[in-house]
Chain A
Amino acid sequence: MDTKFINEVERYGADHFKACYDCGTCTAVCTLSEPGHSFPRYFVRLAKTGQKDEILRSRELWLCYACGDCSENCPRNADPAELIAALRRYTIASYEPTGLTKLIFKSNPLYILVTLVLAVIFALVLLSFHPQSDVSRWLFKYIDYETIHYTGIVAAVLMIFSLISGFFTSIKNYSPQKPMSKPWDALKKTLIEMGIFKRYQSCDTYEDSYWAGKPWIIKPWFLHFCIFWGFILLFTATAMDYLFKNPNIDVWWPTRIIGTIGGLLLMYGSTIVMIYRLLGPTKIYQSTKLADWVFLIFIWLTGFTGFWLEISIFAHDHTMLTYGILLFHVVCAVEMFLLFAFSKFAHALYRPIALYDYFRTKS
């Protein structure tokens, strides 16, 4: 029992959960809630009583896809989905060993500052790889480029270290329940769920839901699907380009096709989600926090500059602007991945772990 914990949760952006009067409507309307995995009221209880260890151990925190049905139907407007989002930020921050995430998630100005400073550092690091260019020659008159190089390496190592640490912290919290299915079965189910989001599709299916009857192409699960597969395809394309060392720019080159499809999916998903977050059609989008925006903006900027570059390459546009965009593109992508364990992106690590644990212990 820790009564101060409520204030801590509020600093992570949960403003309304104290209004809860424990009726359980949220748990009852949640399609993912089931005996043994009953939430979201569970989290309100944990947050109110300050049971930090239970929160950090909780698999349900990551099983939730934030469809927002609970918040729509909450008779007290206590916004349980907002609390879950805040507790995820709390968990990401707690799993990350440096303590930087704790600071940036609790202070918006600091979050923006850190993001921008890191972007500048990464840009300088990238420039330091090519000290012969005009910009670099001008720049490195003032700053020792070795220093920049090492700063970048330290930052990268720190990020990777945080990622590995988060992974093992999460694994360490494996539920003590007896496994009910074979590891391979659980892994298979986890991979299928990650690929097609069957559980996410079961959200918003009742006629009283805002998304019921709307075309699947604009439903939140599909947008999430697009962003996820956009990432996977772009990552594949980048990796293939690197492996084959073949910067073939032919439109029909397989790597190019994969990259273009991935980019389109990523742009489609992130653009529509940004529109939702701006317009706020449902409560879950109305309670958008800076951490949501930072992640989305990174995705969108990476995708946007990527397409700009692709078009520039076809147009044989070798101006200074194109190189600037290239630098910007690489900085966005690098920062997004290096901030993995320090941002909302970390859910891509913790959700599969939770899903695996869930399928492993489910009878």
Chain B
Amino acid sequence: MLKPKTHYDALVVGGGIAGQETALNLANLGYKVALVEKDYSIGGKMILLSKVFPTLDCAACITTPKVSETARHPNIDVFTYSEVEDIYKQERGFKFTLRQKPRYVTEDCTGCQLCEQVCPVVVEDQYQYGLIGRKAIFIPHSIANPRIAAIDMDNCTLCGLCENVCPPKSIDFTQTEQVTQITATAVVLATGYKLFDPTVIKRYGYGKYKNVVTAMQMERQLVPTRPFNNVLRPSDGKVPDNIAYVLCTGSRDATVGSPICSQVCCMYSTKQAQLLMGALPMADVTLYYINIRAYGKGFCEFYQQARSMGVGYVKGKVGRIFEKDNGNLIVRYEDIETGEVAETEHDLVVLSIGILPNKDYQKLFKNVIVEHDPYNYVKQVDELTSPARTSVDGVFVAGTASGPMDIPDSILSAGAASSEAASYLRKVYKQIQPSLN
């Protein structure tokens, strides 16, 4: 387990694309950065994606070099499977508690996966969004960083088979939680977002109808390291040939407390539709939408490209989904073009789920309050001229912690946060040491 220093110039909370970008920028300026990630691997949501829109570049190919650079940077200490607690604002900087949780596997692990082969416990794989299973000792996913196994103690039976088989003897059931008090001069919140849970919308039957999946599950079926090496529907493993996308599931919907646009679901659905056209050339793909928001650079062309490839776009939000005996699904919607209610059969329905604020940051601070906007994202107190500033001096926000945005915007936001944090650090150090130039 990495031993933390007693002081860092900046604490970055969250190791997704925005957190990494912020940490790298600050580290390259010479500042010491603590990057704290609650998950087993850094990389956030982006490392799990297939391609990025509108360029169709491989997401993993963009994010893994950045992940490696972050992990190996001499000025960055990456704390995975760790949490930040009790941040106190002090006269200069912040004091916080770092809780490093035990993986029960030491850094000696070579990532050989022999332990995975012998482990007798199979549980749902959260990194494949429940599509397949994983073992109780596991490497999170094939491009995880650090590539160190971890034991999921909630499911482990303590049989010790992994301990016997591990070549470098890296399994250590005696590992305990390490709690350390650390100080940092500035804090950057890059806590990201949470995916919308579609079980809230009972009309769509997610969790009840097997062939209703989320877009994240479809995304995992399209990545190079996909679990089935094909696109299959869950109920019977059939290759689907008529796929529907339900856009705005859990965004622009006041009934589920998410009244704003997710900014990404139009475009990632369009992207997945294009990828499906490639993966399943005979399949029909239909997108049910309220409005197509193709607002970014190259987005509209990307949307038109999908249309010309034969992706069906139907204006009208799906109101209800029914399941047939053979597992096919009937979607009921109003075709806005004609004003008539219609029902269409599909053999797989993908819910293009929206994004919700990750409210964890609201509990971090003890003696100051980081204000939130009406939608519970971190409030940008000066959105137009200083977008990374929050209501607390010395706390900055990067990426989707401040609102829904796509990957390029997250990286832009992280750039803003790192430069604002750097100038803040410079100002503070100049006060302490006026001779600093």
Question: B407 interface residue, CB < 8 Å from A?
Answer: no
Nearest residue (CB) in A for B289 is: A23
Q: How far is the CA of A293 from the CA of B91 in the complex (A)?
A: 62
Q: A21-B290, A23-B316, A42-B339 are in contact. Are A72 and B255 (CB under 8 A)?
A: yes
Nearest residue (CB) in A for B322 is: A206
Question: B334 interface residue, CB < 8 Å from A?
Answer: yes
Cβ of A72 to closest chain B Cβ, rounded Å: 7
Query: Are B203 and A41 in contact (CB-based, < 8 A)?
Result: no
Query: Are A23 and B317 in contact (CB-based, < 8 A)?
Result: yes
Query: Are B336 and A24 in contact (CB-based, < 8 A)?
Result: yes
Q: A35-B341, A75-B254, A76-B254 are in contact. Are A24 and B319 (CB under 8 A)?
A: yes
Question: A115 interface residue, CB < 8 Å from B?
Answer: no
Query: Are A24 and B252 in contact (CB-based, < 8 A)?
Result: no
Nearest residue (CB) in A for B204 is: A208
- Per-position 1/0 for A10-21, Cβ under 8 A of B: 000000000001
Question: A45 interface residue, CB < 8 Å from B?
Answer: yes
Contacts of B194 in A (CB 8 A): none
Question: B342 interface residue, CB < 8 Å from A?
Answer: yes
Query: Are A74 and B317 in contact (CB-based, < 8 A)?
Result: no
Q: How far is the CA of A77 from the CA of B316 in the complex (A)?
A: 17
Contacts of A208 in B (CB 8 A): 202-203
Question: A333 interface residue, CB < 8 Å from B?
Answer: no
Chain B interface extent, by class = 20 to 34
Cβ of B269 to closest chain A Cβ, rounded Å: 16
Q: A38-B340, A206-B203, A207-B202 are in contact. Are A29 and B320 (CB under 8 A)?
A: yes
Q: How far is the CA of A24 from the CA of B316 in the complex (A)?
A: 6
Q: How far is the CA of A156 from the CA of B340 in the complex (A)?
A: 43
Question: In chain B between 234 and 252, which residues have their CB closer than 8 angstroms to a CB of chain A?
Answer: 248, 252
Question: In chain B between 355 and 406, which residues have their CB closer than 8 angstroms to a CB of chain A?
Answer: none
Contact residue among B254, B290, B316 (Cβ-Cβ distance under 8 Å from A28): B316
Cβ of A64 to closest chain B Cβ, rounded Å: 14
Query: Are B203 and A29 in contact (CB-based, < 8 A)?
Result: yes
Nearest residue (CB) in B for A19 is: B254
Contacts of A45 in B (CB 8 A): 339
Contacts of A29 in B (CB 8 A): 203, 319-320, 332
Contacts of A77 in B (CB 8 A): 254-255
Contacts of B301 in A (CB 8 A): none
How many positions in chain A have a CB within 8 Å of any CB in the partner chain?
27
Q: How far is the CA of A27 from the CA of B332 in the complex (A)?
A: 9
Question: B333 interface residue, CB < 8 Å from A?
Answer: yes
Question: In chain A between 1 and 57, which residues have their CB closer than 8 angstroms to a CB of chain B?
Answer: 21-30, 33-36, 38, 41-42, 45
Question: A73 interface residue, CB < 8 Å from B?
Answer: yes
Q: How many A-B residue pairs have CB under 8 A?
A: 78
Q: How far is the CA of A24 from the CA of B247 in the complex (A)?
A: 13
Contacts of A206 in B (CB 8 A): 202-203, 320
Query: Are B333 and A28 in contact (CB-based, < 8 A)?
Result: yes
Q: A23-B248, A23-B290, A38-B334 are in contact. Are A28 and B253 (CB under 8 A)?
A: no
Nearest residue (CB) in A for B317 is: A23
Query: Are B203 and A22 in contact (CB-based, < 8 A)?
Result: no
Q: How far is the CA of A21 from the CA of B290 in the complex (A)?
A: 8
Nearest residue (CB) in B for A21 is: B290
Query: Are B255 and A24 in contact (CB-based, < 8 A)?
Result: no
Query: Are B334 and A27 in contact (CB-based, < 8 A)?
Result: yes
Query: Are A36 and B340 in contact (CB-based, < 8 A)?
Result: yes
Q: How far is the CA of A191 from the CA of B291 in the complex (A)?
A: 43
Question: B329 interface residue, CB < 8 Å from A?
Answer: no
Question: In chain A between 50 and 94, which residues have their CB closer than 8 angstroms to a CB of chain B?
Answer: 72-77
Question: B42 interface residue, CB < 8 Å from A?
Answer: no
Q: How far is the CA of A72 from the CA of B291 in the complex (A)?
A: 22
Contacts of B336 in A (CB 8 A): 22-24
Query: Are A28 and B339 in contact (CB-based, < 8 A)?
Result: no
Contacts of A34 in B (CB 8 A): 341
Contacts of A22 in B (CB 8 A): 290, 336
Q: How far is the CA of A27 from the CA of B335 in the complex (A)?
A: 10
Contacts of B339 in A (CB 8 A): 38, 41-42, 45
Q: How far is the CA of A244 from the CA of B312 in the complex (A)?
A: 70
Question: B318 interface residue, CB < 8 Å from A?
Answer: yes
Cβ of B162 to closest chain A Cβ, rounded Å: 44
Nearest residue (CB) in B for A73 is: B255
Q: How far is the CA of A25 from the CA of B254 in the complex (A)?
A: 13
Q: How far is the CA of A23 from the CA of B339 in the complex (A)?
A: 11
Contact residue among B248, B333, B342 (Cβ-Cβ distance under 8 Å from A35): B342
Contacts of A73 in B (CB 8 A): 203, 255, 319
Interface centre among A21, A23, A38, by most B CB within 10 Å?
Answer: A23
Q: A38-B341, A42-B339, A77-B254 are in contact. Are A25 and B319 (CB under 8 A)?
A: yes
Interface centre among B203, B334, B335, by most A CB within 10 Å?
Answer: B334
Cβ of A248 to closest chain B Cβ, rounded Å: 54
Question: In chain A between 198 and 215, which residues have their CB closer than 8 angstroms to a CB of chain B?
Answer: 206-208
Nearest residue (CB) in A for B251 is: A75
- Per-position 1/0 for B335-351, Cβ under 8 A of A: 11001111000000000
Cβ of B256 to closest chain A Cβ, rounded Å: 8
Query: Are A27 and B341 in contact (CB-based, < 8 A)?
Result: yes
Nearest residue (CB) in B for A45 is: B339
Nearest residue (CB) in A for B334 is: A24
Q: How far is the CA of A35 from the CA of B341 in the complex (A)?
A: 5
- Write 12 A-B pairs (CB below 8 A) sorted by A numbering: A21-B290, A23-B252, A23-B336, A24-B317, A24-B333, A24-B335, A28-B320, A29-B332, A33-B334, A72-B255, A73-B319, A208-B202
Hey, which bits of chain B sit against chain A, CB under 8 A?
202-203, 248, 252-255, 259, 290-291, 316-320, 332-336, 339-342
- Other than the known A38-B334, A72-B255, what 4 A-B pairs have Cβ atoms closer than 8 Å? A26-B334, A42-B339, A73-B255, A76-B254
4 shortest A-B CB distances, which residue pairs?
A: A28-B319, A24-B334, A27-B334, A208-B202
